[in-house]
A and B are shown apart, each in its own frame.
Chain A
Amino acid sequence: MQPLNINYHYVLPHIIISITGIMTLLFGALNKKSYKDLVFINVTGIFTAGVAAGKLWGIVTDAAKDGKPLTAFRDMVLLDHMSLAFIFIFLVVALLATLGSLSFLEDEDHSPEEFYSLIMFATSGMMLMASAADMVMIFLGLEIASISTYVLAGYRRTDLKSNESALKYFILGSFSTAFLLYGIALLYGATGSTNLETITSAIKSSTNSITHQPMNMAFLYISVAMLLVGFGFKIATAPFQVWTPDVYQGAPSTVTGFMATGPKAAAFVAFLRVFVNVFSGSSSFELHNTWVEVLQVLAILTMIIGNLAALSQTDIKRVLAYSSIAHAGYALIGFLAGDWTSVAFYMLTYSIMNIGAFVVVSVMAGKGDERTDLESWAGMGFKSLGLSMALLVFMLSMAGMPLTGGFMGKFFVFKTAWDKGFHVVVIVAVLNSAASVYYYLRPMVMLFFRESDEKTPTPLLSWGAYITILLALAGTFYLGLMPGKILSLLDAANTAAVSLSR
């Protein structure tokens, strides 16, 4: 009999976050509308989980020296630098979303307990996706994260747009999950396992792990295609991006900020785990080349479609929605190069600046997200200078202006991809970022260059939003000015991973 190999401490951050979610729910049930206490509980939980993850980082580094992978729950969960790096990103996202949503909940009198526990549950699902060692676990994590996010999207219960958003997100999300599930089933058919380790060796030797017969290659290729579609939906690559604008526009702004960053990063880490780690290696070289070629085209399409569509939008939330599609394209470039560190760094910078931008939007748009039309922002820039300047920083960061995290993210991705020989994609990406400057600066045109014709109310900044924006600003500048520490951590992790795979 095998040892149980449970290793609870490897999933400590996940456990802490889940418990925090439950505590939030219970506490909320006993004390109605205690917004600040709930925020406090969540933030404490997030920081505790962060400390736990930090400890685990050290354990992983030590284990990598010995050359043995860390698994838990009988190889269902695995712990490595990649999963931890992404767990940190989810924690940052959760922290910013928790603080940033406060004013929207308070102003519109929504009940906070479900909201905050859903954020925690979604986060725990995403963390599970990051550390899954089995296709079934990826699916489980995805479902936990997705279902929580569907509810969050429809949190403005009486608002039709919010309902539309939740429904669209739900239907298309289920649709894509079906693709993913079918892909997992076919993959099981081809390789005889759902365990990533077993699948990897099965693909390497081209034999089914149960029957020990040569693998059915047609099954394998179809399943890879299905998985590509499934993950493509989740990270919103072209041509699976059509759901994004409507969903992002309808959901409450801060929820959109959360949806556009956390689940996207989670889909990326699972996508990386399956495609870069499993569908590569020596004998599956052809398989690897095939998906790289397909994904290369998809990345180019994603960037071009995202940026072109964003150019003609008049609603700030739709602009940001299309911009997030384009950003998935940029992150895919790091993906193509097979380098998870550049993707992780990109997703970190992207998450911080994107949530920051959405929180600013939620403040500017006022109660009920009423003023998201760019025209209605005319001349507000000098009235609320601090807020507009913060938005400027986030927008410039997304455009890839130096000094900001967005530049470092792009720079790192481009550098890695150019090194690996993806020259065409990098040049396309660069031209795309040049074009994107147009729509990132358009809100500035409205805010600063136009005269205000009517009496637009000055947006009110609550302390939650204030702290979130400050944190996001600090993060954006920190990543842009001194990314050295994080980069060297990722670098060390990468070398450790290389030594592990040898």
Chain B
Amino acid sequence: MDALKPYLLNILVFLPIVGTVIMLMYDQIVGKSDETLRRMALFFTLLTFIASLPLIWWTGDPSLIVNVPWIESLGINYHLEVDGLSMWLVLLTTFLMPIAILSGWTAVHDKVREYLAFMLVLETGMIGVFLAMDMILFYLFWEIMLVPMYFLIGVWGGERRIYAAIKFVLYTMVGSLLMLVAIIALYLIHGDHQGGKATFDMMVITKNLAESNFLTPNQQFWMFAAFGLAFAIKVPLFPFHTWLPDAHVEAPTAGSVILAGVLLKMGTYGFMRFNLPMFPEAAHKFAVPIMVLAVIGIIYGALVAMVQPDMKKLIAYSSVSHLGFVMLGMFAFTEMGMQGSLYQMLNHGVSSGALFLVVGMIYERRHTRQISEFGGIATPMPVFSTLFLIIAFSSIGLPLLNGFVGEFLILNGTFNSTYPRAFAALATTGVILSAVYMLWMVQRVVFGEITNEENHHLSDLNFREKCILVPIVLLIIFMGVYPSFFLSRSAEQIKQIRTVVETHKPTTSVATLK
């Protein structure tokens, strides 16, 4: 097995692409059978998932690192590496992909070959973002991933798909191009500081920045802003969230799952990877504004979610609220808060993804997502309703399920931080509100009398659908009862980032703030 180590990261990045090529070649040569193509796509995503499992034990092993020069005259390297911060996000991606492929098994029946190809390319892009340790390589994957997502929304999406697809791409592009400028500026300044040895390697730059801070406060401020804008749009932090409801609602189920499950995490991951360790002084300056926006997002997202008549839109707005928690915990700069933040990223990926899957399943049966169309479907669909309830509870943060651990850590970490306690107090209302909108939706959809005749004859979950939801529910419970399995493996990395941030704390006493 050890012989595999040096190739593992490359395998993870390229396996989906190789799968795409094999799939397309098979289609060219053997002929058209959508069913076979689906099976092939499922096979390759499952294979990627299995290949990613060793990361749980191998992360941090130096023999995993891939680092070869790519464009030498510019100091660009092909550098892949995995650490405690990225390992769980990679695993989340590979875990959700087979599920996403399964979810579109019958829902997507048009242009199946292209659909599957885009999904697999998307997987390569997402894994690449989390593994890339060179800023240009990171930017490459970050941007490339837009293209398949654009097509997934635009071709297989709902009624307003064109508008949503373009909005999604434009929002992301504005942010990421400014990030590119910041990358170039950082590269040049670092190059000057190192006496002409310019590099885009973020490990090297982060290390050198930690050793001697060669950025002026002004430079730090603007770079934090440029990187931060790109990531804030992706998270999305209030008020940059307006693309999210559109994209989530219009995307096909698999697209929504990936959007909510993985793409949003790229924003929060970016904050942890770039903004905090690279520009710690600016991070302190920005902490309060970001926390204010996060709290606004938590409450605003929850309030808007409450009044949505469309289930998918409700879940989309609940994402705004949940991602607010992630940001809040991260910028509390306490170990507990930051760990909770990372944990909540995973939780949200699992729970929101699952909620979108659930909505997709009833949409397939009734071709509507309006809450008012349903009611009392617990009678015809008992298995479905049970699983739905567990997933909803996980999203609310019921103890013993995953959401509770994340929210508890975040709120506790924020409360005990140097920042005003009002943040934690206000954020707590978000937890209550989430119970309100989520339980209210479940109540109106699942329980009560059957008001709509059509709901009498809904069929319960078939085998494929059980295969989709059961693993997720098991994971939800596992994450809820055994969080240290996850937290212990990323604790070291979080501690490192926090140490960097803490050592650059502004000297003025914080006691005045309290």
Contacts and interface: CB of A to CB of B under 8 A. Distances in A.
Are A and B a genuine interacting pair, yes or no? yes
B169 interface: yes
A396 B154 contact: no
Interface of A: 382, 385, 392, 396, 400-403, 411-412, 414-415, 418-419, 426-427, 430-431, 433-435, 437-438, 441, 444-445, 448-449, 482-484, 487-488, 491
B71 interface: yes
B162 interface: yes
Given A396-B147, A402-B139, A402-B140, A430 B177 contact: yes
A498 to B, nearest CB: 15
A418 B184 contact: yes
Contacts of B465: none
Contact of A414 (B139, B151, B184): B184
5 contacts: A392-B147, A419-B188, A431-B177, A438-B166, A449-B154
A396 B147 CA distance: 9
Interface in B165-189: 165-166, 169-170, 173-174, 177-178, 180-181, 184-185, 187-188
B174 A449 contact: no
B389 to A, nearest CB: 37
A415 B154 contact: no
Contact of B170 (A396, A411, A426, A437): A437
A484 B70 CA distance: 8
B144 A402 contact: yes
A491 B166 contact: no
A419 B155 CA distance: 41
A487 B73 contact: yes
B140 A484 contact: no
Nearest to B142: A402
B150 interface: yes
A427 B70 CA distance: 27
Given A441-B169, A448-B151, A487-B73, A430 B144 contact: no
A445 B178 CA distance: 25
Query: Main SS of the interface on chain A?
Result: helix
B514 interface: no
Given A402-B140, A434-B173, A438-B170, A484 B181 contact: no
A487 B177 CA distance: 22
B170 A488 contact: no
A434 B71 contact: no
A411 to B, nearest CB: 7
Nearest to B74: A487
Contact of A448 (B143, B155, B187): B155
Contacts of B187: 415
Contact of A449 (B72, B165, B180): B165
B161 interface: yes
A69 to B, nearest CB: 25
B24 to A, nearest CB: 11
B347 to A, nearest CB: 31
Contacts of A444: 150-151, 154
A333 to B, nearest CB: 12
Contacts of A392: 147
B180 A430 contact: yes
B483 to A, nearest CB: 37
Interface in B470-496: none
A441 B114 contact: no
Interface of B: 70-74, 111, 114, 136, 139-140, 143-144, 146-147, 150-151, 154-155, 161-162, 165-166, 169-170, 173-174, 177-178, 180-181, 184-185, 187-188
B184 A491 contact: no
Contacts, number: 87
Given A403-B144, A418-B188, A484-B73, A449 B177 contact: no
Query: Main SS of the interface on chain B?
Result: helix
A431 B154 contact: no
Contacts of A482: 70-71
A235 to B, nearest CB: 24
A449 B155 contact: yes
Given A418-B188, A419-B188, A438-B170, A445 B73 contact: no
Contacts of A403: 140, 144
A411 B180 contact: yes
B260 to A, nearest CB: 22
A488 B73 contact: yes
A483 B73 CA distance: 10
A441 B184 contact: no
B132 to A, nearest CB: 11
Given A401-B147, A402-B140, A415-B184, A430 B178 contact: yes
Contact of A484 (B71, B114, B143): B71
Given A402-B140, A418-B185, A382 B111 contact: yes
Nearest to B192: A419
A211 B169 CA distance: 62
A485 to B, nearest CB: 9
B174 A434 contact: yes
B71 A483 contact: yes
Contacts of B139: 402
A168 B69 CA distance: 50
Contact of B181 (A402, A430, A445): A430
Contact of A437 (B136, B161, B169): B169
B177 A445 contact: no
A444 B162 CA distance: 10
Contacts of B178: 427, 430-431
B147 A437 contact: no
A487 B71 CA distance: 9
3 tightest A-B CB contacts, nearest first:
A402-B140, A484-B71, A434-B173
A403 B70 CA distance: 13
B185 A448 contact: no
Contacts of B140: 402-403
Contacts of A412: 74
A71 to B, nearest CB: 30
Given A415-B184, A449-B161, A488-B72, A441 B166 contact: yes
Given A431-B174, A487-B73, 7 more contacts: A402-B136, A427-B181, A430-B180, A441-B150, A444-B154, A449-B161, A488-B73
Contacts of A448: 151, 154-155
A401 B185 CA distance: 19
